[in-house]
Amino acid sequence: MSILVVGSVAFDSIETPFGKVENALGGSATYFSISAGYFVPVNLVAVVGKDFPDKYSSVFKKHAVNIQGMEVVDGSTFQWKGKYGTDLSNPETIYTHLNVFQDFSPKIPQEYKKSDVVFLANIDPELQMYVLKQVNKPRLTACDTMNYWIENKKNELLKLLKNIDIFLLNEGEARRLVDEPNLLKCGKAILGLGPKKVIIKKGENGVLLFSHSSVFSTPAYLLETLKDPTGAGDTFAGGLMGYLRKSGRFTSDSEIRKGIIYGTVLASYTVQGFGVERLSGINYSDIQKRYHDYRRLTRY
C-alpha cells in the first residue's frame, strides 16, 4: 500500500518578514512525499544533481519515502529563491535555476508501474501524461499545475485532465484556466473539462471541493505563528492523498472531505517553519491532535 509521486526536488532559498533560509530542502514532490509519508509509504520519482547531500536523503528515508526512483545525475540540483512581503500569497521570484531538472524525463521503475495511486506534482503536463502512460491502470490519479502551464501548455493540460480523478489548483490558476472570476462557476466549469473532482486551494481562506453532485467548503487551520507558506499546497495534497490511500475509499465524497481536513492540518505545520523543518519534525499523534482541534474549531 503506497503512493507514486513524480515531481521536483529542489534547494529553496526563502525570505519572509519572519526570517530567511538558504538552500533548504524543497520542491513540490518533497513536500508531498513527507506529508503523505505520515499515512503510507511513498515511492518518489525525481531528479537531483551530484550536489544533493546525504542529510536530505535521510529526511526522505525517515518519512517512509522510497528514493530508488530519484535519479542522481551530473550537474546541480534545481534551485529556487523567493522573497515574500506582507502578502504571503504572492512571492517575488528572485531566481529559478532548473539545472538538472531542465532535462527531467521521468523513468518509472518497473516495480512502481503497478501503482494504483498516482500523484503528478507540478511539472510540464506533457511529462505528467508521459508518466500516466507508464503506469498500469491506476485506481486513483491526481495532479497539480501552475499558471505557467496554463498559459503556455493549455492544450496539453486539457488532454491530461480527461485522465485525472482529482485536480488541484489554487484560486488564481482556476480563474485563469476558465477565464471566470467567480470561484463557484470556476469549479463547475473545470469539472466540465474532465476531472471527477476539483479542489481549489485558497491559502489562508481554506479549500473548495467540487464534484458533480456536491460542493464542500472548509476553512484553513487558525494559527498565531506563521513563518513561510512555501510548499503548503503540496503538503496539503500529500495529506489528502496519503489519507485516501490509507482509507482505500477513493471515490467516497465523505472520505475525500476527511482527507481535505488532514491535508489542511499537515499544511498548517509546514507554514510554521522554513522549508520542511516543521513538517518533518512532527509525529502522527501531533497530526491527530490538531485534526481533533480542527473538528472542535469548525463544529456548530
Break the chain into its structural domains and give their ranges.
3-298
Q: Identify the pLDDT of residue 1.
A: 79
Q: How confident is the model at residue 225 (pLDDT cuts 50, 70, 90)?
A: confident
Residue type, 157: L
Question: What global pTM score does this model have?
Answer: 0.96
90 pLDDT band, cuts 50/70/90, is: confident
Amino acid at 60: F
299 pLDDT tier (thresholds 50, 70, 90): confident
The average confidence (pLDDT) of the chain is: 96
Q: What confidence score (pLDDT) does residue 237 get?
A: 98
The mean pLDDT of 214-236, rounded to a whole number, is 95
- The span from the CA of 169 to the CA of 146, in Å, is 7
State in words which class domain 3-298 has. alpha beta
Report whether pLDDT(246) > 90: yes
pLDDT at 157: 98
Task: Work out the average pLDDT over 155-174.
Answer: 97
* CA 95/CA 27 separation, integer angstroms: 14
Reported as a single tens digit per residue, the pLDDT across 267-280 is 999 999 999 999 99
Tell me the pLDDT band of 87, cut-offs 50, 70 and 90.
confident
pLDDT of residue 251: 84
User: Over pLDDT 70: what percentage of the chain?
Assistant: 100
Sort 93 into a burial class: Cβ within 10 Å, 0-12 / 13-18 / 19+. Answer: exposed
